[in-house]
Amino acid sequence: MPMIGRTVWAIPGGHIPLESSGREPEHLSQEQLCVLNATDQDAHLRITIYYTDRDPVGPYPLTVAARRTRHVRYNDLIAPEAIPLDCDYASVVESDVPVVVQVIRQDTSQAENALMSVIAFPVM
């Protein structure tokens, strides 16, 4: 298996919808950070959250074990501080080993869910 991924990724379009409809937890409005660590070493991630009108916050630490994937809700990044709902943000993910990063937003603020996803931008 070749070395899979990059060590820095960026996602400009972050936003967690304020409202939800439908059954929880599966229909909670949310934004997920999905990380694949296909290497044989644990990946230690540092996530930085950028805002429109104040300084960036972070790093948020996150570990993804060797040969595992981890799908984390941005809502669950709570230290150093939670990301406000209904607030524009961007995120940068740095890792000590190569990983691959995808973001998925589920919006259930209207009665039926909407989905969108991007592979994050591979910086280096």
Token duo for residue 17: 């919808």
Residue 22 pairs with which residues in a beta bridge?
none
> Is 77 or 100 the residue whose CB approaches a copy of itself more closely?
100
| Binding flags for a copy of itself, 41-60, as an x/- string (CB under 8 A) | -------x-xxxx-xx----
What string of H, E and C letters represents the secondary structure of 37-83? ECCCCCEEEEEEEEECCCCCEEEEEEEECCCEEEEEEHHHCCCCCCC
78 binds a copy of itself (CB under 8 A): no
In the complex, which residues of this chain contact a copy of itself (CB under 8 A)?
1-2, 4-5, 8, 10-15, 17-18, 22, 26-27, 32, 34-36, 38, 48, 50-53, 55-56, 67-71, 86, 88-90, 92, 94, 100-124
